[in-house]
Amino acid sequence: MSLKKALKNLLIAYGGSTEGTTLADYINNLAVAKDPLLGLKVDTDIAADEDLLGKVIGDLQENVVVGEDKITGRLKYVTDYTGFSGDPTQQEGYFIALHAEVPDVENVTIKVKNEMQVTLDPDGIYVGLLGDLADQTIEVEASKDGYETVTKKFKLYTLSLDPKPADE
């Protein structure tokens, strides 16, 4: 039996369909079945009217897309973000809002690592204050007892930044 036919039979036995399925899809499905944390998703799936500590996603960013290893889009320069922090030095700058989750897995701890971040709710919405993007990455880490920790890193230098408003 050819490898292709064996994989097709295995895929059907696994409960899948061979139509439109690639070998990479199949391997990913097996890996996620073995370690569900590999299904960690990071995106910007945040409702337009979601309260992000006194701002909404449109106040912070536009057309932000999370790719495999980088985040693209445009960050707006934000001022007077008093809901983010009581420290005036952390109320102005470029902020990013992300959503992170491991679908269908309970009791997962998700950490977003960057200079300054706030976890807004148990649904995995994070807002982070960013510094210099040239060398910066954001790491999103999912952990759960009994599984290996999964970390995804995203480069930020691909983001464009609105100019900082001139001092009045």
Please check whether residue 92 lies inside any domain of the structure. Answer: yes
Predicted local distance difference test score (pLDDT) of residue 113: 73
Low-confidence ranges of the chain (pLDDT < 50): none
Predicted local distance difference test score (pLDDT) of residue 77: 95
Nearest-angstrom CA–CA distance, 150 and 16 = 25
Predicted local distance difference test score (pLDDT) of residue 117: 66
Predicted local distance difference test score (pLDDT) of residue 49: 95
Q: Do 18 and 67 reside in the same domain of the chain? A: no
Burial of 84 from C-beta contacts in 10 A (0-12 / 13-18 / 19+): buried
Please check whether residue 25 lies inside any domain of the structure. Answer: yes
Q: Do 67 and 25 reside in the same domain of the chain? A: no
φ, ψ for residue 61, nearest 5 deg: -155, 165
Q: Do 90 and 141 reside in the same domain of the chain? A: yes
Q: Do 13 and 66 reside in the same domain of the chain? A: no
Instruction: Print the domain residue range for 13.
Output: 3-34
What digits encode the pLDDT tens for the residues 46-88?
A: 999 999 999 999 999 999 999 999 999 999 999 999 998 899 9
